[in-house]
Chains A and B, each alone.
Chain A
Amino acid sequence: MLELLIAAALLLSLIFYAVTGGADSGGGMWDLLASGPRRDEQRNAIARAIGPIWEANHVWLILIVVLLFTAFPSAFAVTMTALFIPFSLMLIGVIFRGSAFIFRKYDSPAKEVQGRWSTLFGAASFFTPFVQGMILGALATGQIRVSEGRVATGFLAGWLTPFAFACGFFALALCAFLAAVYLTIDTKDRELENDFRFRALCSGIALAPIAAAAFLFAKNGAPEIFHGLTNWWAIPLIGLTSGCAVVALVSLWFRKFVAARATSIATASLVLIGWSAAQFPYLVVPDITIHAAAAPAITLRLLLIALCLGGALLFPSLFFLYRIFKSNQ
């Protein structure tokens, strides 16, 4: 029971990471793709939106790792061994994304200097969520096998499959979509708003074929997920998810940006919830379950207490930060 609660906290952190940190990555993508007459304005709007909160958004990633190695140490060991290569790549992406963003802010305002940092920031913003999507995909493929606690399938299993790539692209599109939707709210200028609205619509529509492709690849590439998603409960869940996505697009169309934000966040959360429901009870399909990998009860109990106390202190603070930050703009 305890381990299920921690697993739920893990999922919650993943969702928070996707809708905050993921959207920051999406901002980086639109920075790289900034174009048209309002190119610089777009970039400024993005930089303002990410601003000093990206570190707080980034902490969700840390929380995910820490929860994983404290509560599910053997799953952590297996994941980090089997996916050594994509995790290392992701780290390089994380380093360049964070540092390029802050270096750009403090380096010379000259055009070519700023351009160089923007390119690096943007490229890393594409790269990082793509690899993260791949990693999540790889865990679901069922190709990472464990025998006697050791990884038996080497270092290339799972993450180089079409399914994992499809997950990577899906993560990209989702981050881009979220970012563009948020940006429509953050900007006051009508034309700039239109730029981001257009981008949000494009990336939102792109989600559908990518999701379909991932689903098709899952049939052979991640049978457990495919099987899960064809369960009785999956149909209404998928319906709800797509419903949210459609409402998000329609609200964008009618310029109801606040509604679009709420529904796009709901879409992203439902995708992750559906995914984990389909993968339940596995952390690494098919050899490591939540139950088998769980740390002793005392660790889980303390961790849960820490999570509750930490949440009670940090959520109000985080809310305070967002409020100050918004009223500063």
Chain B
Amino acid sequence: MSDFLFARSLMGMSLAFHIIFAAIGVALPLLMVTAEGVYLRTGKPIYLELARRWSRGSAILFAVGAVSGTVLSFELGLLWPTFMEKAGAIIGMPFSLEGFAFFAEAIFLGVYLSGWKLLSPFVHWLSGVLVVIGGVSSAIFVVTANAWMNAPAGFKIVDGKITDIDPIAAMLNQASFHQVIHMVLSAFIATGFAVAAVHAFFLLRKKDDAFHRAALGIALVVGCVCVPLQIWSGDLSGREVGRLQPAKLAAMEAAYRTQNGAPLVVGGIPNDDAQTIKYAITLPRFLSLLAKRDPNATIAGLDQVPRSDWPNVRLVHWSFDVMASSGFALFFLSLTVALLAWKRRSLPDDRWLLRVLVAAGPLGFIAMEAGWMVTELGRQPWIIYGIMRTNEAVTPMPGLAVPFIIFTCVYLFLAFMVAYLLRREFFRAPAPGERQTTTASTRA
């Protein structure tokens, strides 16, 4: 592999790693605050215990989110110095704001974690709410920076020089809206279903454990409410991509030729040289219908784009299919859960449903990773769409295989440790009797 490919792989790997912790950092505090809120209203100690347990778990994940995020902010310059040199003044703003949002998040998480006994219950809960606000705003800010790479705005190019910079217009670029909504929802979905899976797993072992039932309830509400919204926002994203980045949409659908009444193509093996796709399921006219709201509309194919500017069609197409099928799988799961809950007026706890929930645990994260692959790989060969190519932006540093291998090992080690320690935390679940006494003594 060339140094350039190693740089891309290192960046992609670091982001794919960070996004997991970032998503949890956005959504877990919401679960935590919800549990504490329920406790404040109902006074049931089990919800307080739940908030405590979730906050304990979040401390580990936060630390890893923070270090991996730190690595990223340096990697932007280490790997893509020319990009940062040109883009820094334009999109440094959202990164700075993210810094502040994160700072607020870190401060109030510290307050939350050490304030159990010192603060009044309401103020303590409020500090948790501020953690949520900090997390969601930091996600909003960074995603606008990414959206700017997809839909650059807020500057002019005169004689090859960037002038007339407007950082606010850059933040409010045309891709920000759909990307932000889609990303924030995906954090709630991914975390909601992953947490639900953990507690469903424990309920399979011990059906009536009130603690895990309470936890499953909250996680499922968050996840199931967000999934239908996500399908809507995914549709919006698709239409916006068609408008802003036709080459990306064409790669998502492996549409080599421009067509009227283009079909939706699911699965299959795209072949760039033959410009065909084998073994795919095609739904006639669906792509035109979805992207343009008109079954006969024209959809630009890759033939409109010089071959040298094609993204990797296979990866983009497959990633899109993975995201969309995970999304629909979660949608049907949410419908089932909602129907059962409505019919029985209580949390559905059939064993088969719990098993399905355990199996569906990773789906949200899989969809999220795949979605980012669509966004990032689909933008190639551009680092700033239509303005700067990725290979113009890369560092001249040779031997990038070395940091790639080292950081891969480091991330594998971190991932392993986090998994191991979380498992330890989960299995330490105290017996119900013990739980009562701990909560009683801490609030006393």
Contacts and interface: CB of A to CB of B under 8 A. Distances in A.
Interface string A104-122: 0011100000000000000
Contacts of B59: 52, 102, 106
Contacts of B102: 59, 62
Given A81-B396, A99-B67, A69 B165 contact: no
Interface string A70-100: 1101101111110010011001101110110
A328 B88 contact: no
Nearest to B397: A84
B66 A321 contact: no
Nearest to B69: A62
B168 interface: yes
Contacts of B78: 80, 84, 87-88
Residue from B67, B95, B96, B417 having most chain A Cβ neighbours under 10 A: B96
Nearest to B163: A296
Interface in A15-41: none
B95 A98 contact: no
Contacts of B104: 313-314, 317
B89 interface: yes
A58 B100 contact: no
Given A65-B73, A103-B421, A70 B93 contact: yes
A91 B71 contact: yes
Contacts of B100: 306, 310, 313-314
B15 interface: no
B89 A296 contact: yes
B77 interface: yes
B92 A69 contact: yes
B106 A55 contact: yes
Interface stretch (A180-188, A225-233, A269-277, A297-305): A297-305
Given A295-B92, A314-B104, A53 B110 contact: yes
B111 A321 contact: yes
Given A98-B63, A99-B63, A99-B414, A77 B111 contact: no
Interface residues of B, number: 64
Contacts of A59: 99, 102-103, 106
Contact of A303 (B60, B92, B119): B92
Contacts of B75: 91
Nearest to A102: B63
A295 B89 contact: yes
Contacts of B77: 65, 69, 76-77, 79-80
A234 interface: no
Contacts of B89: 70-71, 73, 295-296, 299
A151 B82 CA distance: 11
A298 B115 contact: no
B148 interface: no
Interface string B21-53: 000000000000000000000000000000000
Contact of A62 (B73, B81, B119, B417): B73
Contacts of A108: 424
Size bracket of the A interface: 35 or more
B274 to A, nearest CB: 42
Nearest to A101: B63
A327 interface: yes
Interface in B277-315: none
A325 interface: yes
Given A66-B92, A106-B421, A328-B114, A95 B81 contact: no
B392 interface: no
B113 A306 contact: no
Contacts of A299: 89-90, 92-93, 165, 167
Contacts of A98: 63-64, 66-67
B109 interface: yes
A94 B395 contact: no
A317 B108 contact: yes
A71 B74 contact: no
A77 B85 contact: yes
Interface string A168-194: 000000000000000000000000000
Contact of A298 (B95, B98, B108, B166): B166
Interface string B336-380: 000000000000000000000000000000000000000000000
B68 to A, nearest CB: 8
A266 interface: no
Residue from B75, B78, B395, B414 having most chain A Cβ neighbours under 10 A: B78
B440 interface: no
Contacts of A310: 100, 103
B198 interface: no
Contact of A77 (B64, B81, B90, B406): B81
B118 A328 contact: yes
Contact of A320 (B76, B106, B111): B111
A324 B95 contact: no
Contact of A296 (B76, B108, B165, B168): B165
13 contacts: A59-B106, A62-B69, A66-B99, A73-B85, A76-B84, A77-B77, A78-B81, A88-B403, A95-B71, A298-B167, A306-B96, A310-B100, A317-B111
Given A98-B63, A98-B67, A102-B64, 13 more contacts: A52-B113, A55-B106, A63-B103, A77-B88, A107-B424, A108-B424, A149-B85, A298-B165, A299-B90, A303-B93, A324-B114, A324-B118, A328-B115
CB-CB nearest 6 A-B residue pairs: A70-B92, A73-B88, A80-B77, A295-B89, A77-B85, A77-B81
Interface of A: 51-53, 55-56, 58-59, 61-63, 65-67, 69-71, 73-74, 76-81, 84, 87-88, 91-92, 94-96, 98-99, 101-103, 106-108, 149-151, 155, 295-296, 298-299, 302-303, 306, 310, 313-314, 317-318, 320-321, 324-325, 327-328
Interface of B: 59-60, 62-64, 66-71, 73-78, 81-82, 84-90, 92-93, 95-100, 102-104, 106-111, 113-115, 117-119, 165-168, 395-397, 403, 406, 410, 414, 417, 421, 424-425
